[in-house]
Structure 1
Amino acid sequence: MSALDTDAVPHASSAASGGDPFIEQPVAYDAILLAGFGGPEGQDDVIPFLRNVTRGRGIPDERLEEVAHHYRHFGGVSPINGQNRALKTALEAELAARSIDLPVYWGNRNWAPYLEDAVAEAVAHGDTTLLAFATSAYSSFSSCRQYREDFARVLDGTEYDGVVTIDKIRPFYDHPGFVQSFVAGVHDAVAEMLAEGVPADAVQVLFSTHSIPATDAVRSGPRDVDWGEGGAYAAQHQAVSAWVMDRVAQLLPEASAVPWQLVYQSRSGPATQAWLEPDVCDVIGELAARGRQAVIVVPVGFMSDHMEVLWDLDTEAKEAAEGAGLRFARTPTPGVSPSFVAGIVDLIQERLEGRPAADRAHITDVGGAFDVCRPGCCENVRAGFKRAAAGIAP
């Protein structure tokens, strides 16, 4: 796709509208749009929130209540909104420290404040050329394209159509700022296990991420690349996990003998539908038979300690480890660590200055992290292609 092919990308800035994969020219953005998933903030919010998450799938409230108990266990409050408030504050401080005069507007896909609210607030302040940072690092329908579809939904046929543009920061799975927290966490957890007398080959590291339907996984990332089983989603996680373990071994040579693997969690589909495996708790249940004495779970697919971390890992995975007689540790997510916040602003600066792709920070060579998503990227097999901002149709 040539930059001469105008209007190839819905709701894009003039620089991105031609569809080039990397925007290597400066763009004068008015503001940052922090796009979150959203979460309930009280017991009365839980079922309405879950209805939003599963909209269009016809799931009855009785089945939603099976998931609702995770939230109810924590008073009906998901930590994710509080974490995004903290991230917004941290981003504003880092932008100011670098003399970047851009406001940050925060909106969610599934709960207040909604993306619609954030766009309306931006327009009210005269900010119409927006650069979105979606709070998910990897390539897949749920972690990238669904955000882009929601950007288009908010603008299509509204008073903002043709007025507001929304570009999106590239998937940041292998940006050093994102990955550094995992290196530090694994290093410290392995060092502690070794100090407690656990042999290195008896410590198992499990890199955990959200499972997705296998049909979505194979369609994740650009379609013109052979990603192998699990598509770009699995390939990106595998590459990051391998890099983290290699880096830890450089810092702590004994860690080179520590085995590791990628596992999945939080599947929610019917038993008849194939999702990425193996499940983290299933693997933990097998570790004692492999001679393991301890397990370190690394939430490599997650940006902050939201419900899938607090419940699926800190509760269920920990209980599985206790049941198997294993020592258990869970490493931190990036959250609002200084390296991660600085990394986000680095990603913003890439687009402000039109930094050439060859000069952009990354720790793997897996690829797929485009400024403008490619045609057919991250298809949702069940729903088909919908209009999506920040990418070439379909």
Structure 2
Amino acid sequence: MSKRAVLMMTFGSPEKISYEGVAEFFTNIRRGVRPEPHEIQTLYDNYVRIGGTPLQRITREEVDLVASALGEHASVYFANKFSRPFITDVIKEMENDGIEECLCLILEPHYSYYSVMGYEKFLESEQIRFQIIKEWYQEPSLLHYWADEIRNISDQIRDDSYKVIFSAHSVPVLALDFGDPYIDQIYDNTRLIVEILGLEEDQYTNTWQSESDIGIPWIKPDVLEYLRDEKEHPDHYIFVPIAFISEHIEVLFDNDVECKELCHELGVTYHRPPMPNSDSRLIKALLSTIQSHIDGDYCYFQPQLETFDELEAPSNTGKILEESEDIQMPDFVKKLIAIKGRENVKMPYLVKKMLEKKYGKKYD
């Protein structure tokens, strides 16, 4: 029998909450390009505001609990996408340990080209065959975790009016044009929780959060914009960031600071259920996911052929515009062409790679 491992991965976080510690982490996210000083300062200030981040501690607790439950069935390793221990370094460690098959469990329940694929591109080994779990948001234990915690809050609210705001990390609008499954999965995840709770249509909504300024439109409504645009508000808002499983900056700042402050301004009481973190219901969901995949098919992975780097510098992007009459372009690109003229518009690299992935036509 092959020597088998489970590799649990998460996004990462600054190793030191200092200006340079945040700068190093932010530079890793930008694939080696150091952000502007004001961008670093803003992110640093946000980390200071929330008192640092517990993400690494929480994730290691999750990993230890999974490892303890699996026992001798598989070795369990942990890696980050953008901070130590890096995925490539942990793969070398697994190779040195003689691992031959690796089940990859990314601690983000939904699959997106913008997030999960970003982990896949680091999975390269001539020794290890990989199997990648694409999504696991439908795990009953996770669904019931959220439903139970939302119900705990609504029971305390009693007869006051309330609305549940499900939120997820936004993705660029062009995801809709290229079949990224993430958006549908978020809505499906919401539907599954709502069915357990029996919520009426006017008792919940979906919003998006944490978008980045990279020069292209993002999925809306943004949660803060939604709150500002509402003409009438209930007595209570219950914020449920279902795209995340652990406390980190997107939850502790984007929800617990920005959303909470806006609720106070609007005269509405803010609520957020605790994140799953290392709760036994989450661990049960993780173990169920692992057990349903562990005996599946493993193969040698070729990330250079099966993934793309969404932040890689563009090359020869003019050619794709000249030859793109027969393929679907995002509306925002068409609008840019109409305004600026074709010769002045370059196809964003991410769009180019998605077109290649969807239509099997290579643009070099």
| Aligned CA distance change for structure 1 residues 376 and 131 (closer, same or farther; 3 Å) | closer
| Aligned CA distance change for structure 1 residues 176 and 41 (closer, same or farther; 3 Å) | same
Query: 1:301-380 to 2 correspondence within 5 Å?
Result: 301-354=243-296, 380=310
| Aligned CA distance change for structure 1 residues 246 and 29 (closer, same or farther; 3 Å) | farther
Question: Partners of 1:378 and 1:116 in 2: how far apart?
Answer: 16
Q: Which residue among 197, 218, 221 is the counterpart of 1:248?
A: 197
Q: Residue 280 of structure 1 aligns with which residue?
A: 223
Q: CA RMSD in A?
A: 2.9
Deviation at 1:315, TM superposition (A): 0.8
Q: Residue 130 of structure 1 aligns with which residue?
A: 102
Question: Partners of 1:134 and 1:393 in 2: how far apart?
Answer: 29
Question: Partners of 1:52 and 1:247 in 2: how far apart?
Answer: 40
Deviation at 1:141, TM superposition (A): 1.6
Q: Which runs of 5+ in 2 are unaligned?
A: 311-347, 355-359
Conserved? CA contact 1:219–1:379, under 8 Å = no
Deviation at 1:283, TM superposition (A): 1.9
Deviation at 1:29, TM superposition (A): 5.6
Q: Residue 15 of structure 1 aligns with which residue?
A: none
Q: Residue 64 of structure 1 aligns with which residue?
A: 40
| Aligned CA distance change for structure 1 residues 120 and 260 (closer, same or farther; 3 Å) | same
Deviation at 1:264, TM superposition (A): 0.7
Query: 1:180-195 to 2 correspondence within 5 Å?
Result: 180-194=144-158
TM-score (norm 2): 0.78
TM-score (norm 1): 0.72
Conserved? CA contact 2:26–2:34, under 8 Å = no
Conserved? CA contact 2:149–2:273, under 8 Å = yes
Q: Residue 17 of structure 1 aligns with which residue?
A: none
Q: Residue 213 of structure 2 aligns with which residue?
A: 269
Q: Residue type matched to 1:179 in 2?
A: L
Question: Partners of 1:65 and 1:147 in 2: how far apart?
Answer: 27
Q: Residue 91 of structure 1 aligns with which residue?
A: 66
Q: Residue 237 of structure 2 aligns with which residue?
A: 295
Q: Residue type matched to 1:301 in 2?
A: A
Deviations 1:156-180 (A, max 9, x none): xxxxx42122221231122213222
Deviation at 1:87, TM superposition (A): 0.9
Conserved? CA contact 1:206–1:297, under 8 Å = yes
Conserved? CA contact 1:284–1:295, under 8 Å = no
Q: Residue type matched to 1:172 in 2?
A: W
Name the structure, 1 or 2, with higher relative contact order (CA <8 Å, separation 6+).
Answer: 1
Question: Partners of 1:257 and 1:136 in 2: how far apart?
Answer: 27
SS at match of 2:103: strand
Greater fraction helix:
2
Deviations 1:139-167 (A, max 9, x none): 2122221111122xxx2xxxxx4212222
Q: Residue type matched to 1:263 in 2?
A: T
Deviation at 1:378, TM superposition (A): 9.2
SS at match of 1:186: helix
Q: Residue type matched to 1:49 in 2?
A: F
Q: Residue 364 of structure 1 aligns with which residue?
A: none
Q: Residue type matched to 1:323 in 2?
A: E
Identity of aligned residues (%): 21
Deviation at 1:304, TM superposition (A): 0.9
Question: Partners of 2:21 and 2:33 in 1: how far apart?
Answer: 19
| Aligned CA distance change for structure 1 residues 275 and 72 (closer, same or farther; 3 Å) | same
Deviation at 1:219, TM superposition (A): 2.5
Q: Residue 104 of structure 1 aligns with which residue?
A: 76
Q: Residue type matched to 1:266 in 2?
A: S
| Aligned CA distance change for structure 1 residues 138 and 188 (closer, same or farther; 3 Å) | same
Conserved? CA contact 1:87–1:335, under 8 Å = yes
Q: Which residue among 143, 146, 162 is the counterpart of 2:115?
A: 143
Deviations 1:246-286 (A, max 9, x none): 2112xxxxx5475111001111124x521011111222234
Question: Partners of 2:212 and 2:156 in 1: how far apart?
Answer: 34
Question: Partners of 1:306 and 1:292 in 2: how far apart?
Answer: 27
| Aligned CA distance change for structure 1 residues 344 and 28 (closer, same or farther; 3 Å) | farther
SS at match of 1:142: coil
Deviation at 1:111, TM superposition (A): 0.4
Q: Residue type matched to 2:271 in 1?
A: A
